[in-house]
Amino acid sequence: MSTQALNVLFLCTHNSARSILAEALLNHLGQGRFRGWSAGSSPRANQQPNPLALEVLQHAGIPTEGLRSKSWDEFATPAAASMDLVITVCDNAAGEVCPIWPGHPATAHWSYADPSDGPGSEAQKREAFRQTLLAMHRRLELFVNLPPAALQRLALQTSARSLAGA
């Protein structure tokens, strides 16, 4: 891998929970070698990151400054940052027709249940977010420690897809 950071875009439907968690976590773990981004296929009007997502990130010591919900359209223009890898983190987004990404990045799907979905007390929902963050941490820890050869453009898609079962 070159000295330039590897750009990874995490996609989810609303860009309020899972993709936000993954963006912040990769930026934290990546130590400048990786740059995480996130977007949604259909964020709601005035969508904001889920407060529980921000809370569990902050509790884990992961910076949340600058995190915001945004449409994947921001990343499908020629002026957008060029992505090396696009990872869907929810099954809905994985099944949608994605834009044609500039630079034709590698793609992968890492399925995570929606921690904001379902009944439960505030404490139970907070725990669901914490468990999602822990699962992402395990997978992203493996990802950032892949050998440089596994991160070369041709091997990147295979490497990222093999981590789907991690």
As for how many domains the chain has, the answer is 1
What DSSP designation does 11 have?
E
Residues 58 and 6: their CA atoms lie apart, in Å, by: 24
78 occurs within a structural domain = yes
Confidence at residue 1, expressed as pLDDT on a 0 to 100 scale: 43
Q: Nearest 5°: phi and psi at 49?
A: -60, 145
102 occurs within a structural domain = yes
Q: Nearest 5°: phi and psi at 72?
A: -70, -15
Confidence at residue 94, expressed as pLDDT on a 0 to 100 scale: 53
- The range of the structural domain enclosing residue 110 comes to 6-154
Residue 132 belongs to domain with CATH number: 3.40.50.2300
161 occurs within a structural domain = no
Whole-model pTM: value is 0.88
Q: How many CB atoms lie within 10 A of CB 116?
A: 17
Q: Over the chain (166 residues), what is each successive 10-residue block's mean pLDDT? A: 82 93 97 94 86 97 96 86 91 63 84 88 94 97 92 77 82
163 occurs within a structural domain = no
46 occurs within a structural domain = yes
1 occurs within a structural domain = no
109 occurs within a structural domain = yes
166 occurs within a structural domain = no
